[in-house]
Amino acid sequence: MPPLMVPFKVGMLPQVRLSLLPRARCLFDEPVHVKVAGLESRQVVTLRAQATDERGVVFRSAAVYRADGDGELDLCRDAALCGSYEGVEPMGLLWSMRPIVPHKYFHWSKALSPHLVRFSVHDGMDVEEKEHGGALAEVINERVLLGEGVVREVVNFGKGNGVLFTPPGEGPFPGVLDLSSFASEKRASLLANKGFVVLNVSVMYDKPAKINYLELDHYQEALVFLQQQPKVGGDGLGVIGRSKAGDIALSLASFVPGVRAVVWINACSGNMGAPLHYRGREVLSPVTLDLTKIIPAADGASIIKFGVTDPNSEENRTSRVPIEKATADFLFLASEDDLNCDCRASMESMAAQLWRAGKENVEMVCYPRAGHLLEPPYGPYCRSGLHGFLRTVVMWGGEPQAHACAEVLAWKKVEEFFRSRLSCGHPKTKAKL
């Protein structure tokens, strides 16, 4: 029986197809190739992305495109005409998503749950941030934090706890202690996908208001626990931290043996927030704050950068982390437009501190127009949000496109640094979907 033939009528549109390549399910830090086919020649459409974080906050983005003569769009080739971003930005719909309520950070901290993003294409030009129906086509992008075969385990060590991620295979694998200022498994799980055994530990093991001082012994116990894991090899461990977790990473390398490589991201060269104790005594006092120099912004957020006093001043002499005592190699990553603190100045002063001690064990990278929250790539850019320690809304800094680019480059740099400094003499193993 011959196939049923449906005559094509003038004005009839073939089925519009929205594709995510190579597949709609991917790791969180992997890009997807967005393509649309089946549009009319030169048709103007609006592409949208929407996601809801684990706290129920909705994030959205929209950009207007014009199809080519064949009715096709390719976001790796075609430029957005207007909307949440402009120009050729293959992953623009992801990093440009903004919360529908102001001053919200995209929370996705649990590695077991995939991050779902709904992509859709709509006829015409309409970039208003509201709920839209009548999509010509849509597809769900499932962005996964935990790769195939990676084992996640909640663990206890000493008086503390954390989450251990172990890649598939026999090992040995390099070990990395991932310090997050507050609970988040994102970076740790993604590093484990790349072939590292990673222990994620929150710097704040209680509410900030209840903490009179932090104990470096707590994080040393985490290092010892990680080193004892049967799949961990090499002659030392890596430590990574941003913001407050960054200065804890410096202190571990300076006071505790066994740290081979440190990644410091947008932090201070001195101890911030609370006194640091080690072995029953105070080893570092906190850098002082001048609250009169905090600048209020019109939208209710504040710029706190200028309220942090100079870590190298005489008044902060007992706050400066003595990194010249460390035997570890350092990677300093600083965002030039960080409005949380002057991290570029801290980075340069620490490099000088090491060089004066006759050490050249440091690499530095500064990212122009990037803000404080430098994270694994392709998450929504956060302009402002609640400061975890000060409990007030602050500006994080950065320009969205430049910040998104910096996250891609910085994430690649982190992997390269740890892989070169923590070699186990074992072939690289990466988890896949």
- Which residues are known catalytic residues? 243, 338, 372
Q: CA-CA distance, 84 to 98, in Å (whole number)?
A: 9
Three-state DSSP state, 410: helix
Q: Hey, which bits of 172-244 come out as E strands?
A: 175-180, 197-202, 214-215, 237-242
Written as one letter, the residue type at 219 is Y
Tokens, residue 123 = 């006829």
CA atoms within 13 A on the CB side of 39: 28
Tokens, residue 274 = 């609370």
Q: Per DSSP, what are the bridge partners of residue 296?
A: 302
CA atoms within 13 A on the CB side of 344: 12
Neighbours of 271 (CB within 10 A): 27
Three-state DSSP state, 345: helix
Q: CA-CA distance, 235 to 30, in Å (whole number)?
A: 30
DSSP 287: P
What φ, ψ does residue 295 adopt, rounded to 5°?
-105, 120
- 76 in the Ramachandran plot: left (φ > 0), alpha (ψ -120 to 50) or beta? alpha
Question: What DSSP string runs through 87-101?
Answer: B--TTHHHHT-EESS
Q: Per DSSP, what are the bridge partners of residue 395?
A: 384
Tokens, residue 316 = 């902060």
Q: Which helix (H) or strand (E) holds 49?
A: strand 44-52
Contact 16, 134 (CB under 8 A): no
By CB atoms closer than 10 A (0-12, 13-18, 19+), residue 275 is: middle
Distances (CA, A) of 354 to 316, 361, 427: 18, 8, 33
SS3 helix, strand, coil % of the chain, rounded to 5? 20, 30, 50
Tokens, residue 19 = 């594709």
- 197 in the Ramachandran plot: left (φ > 0), alpha (ψ -120 to 50) or beta? beta
Contact 226, 252 (CB under 8 A): no
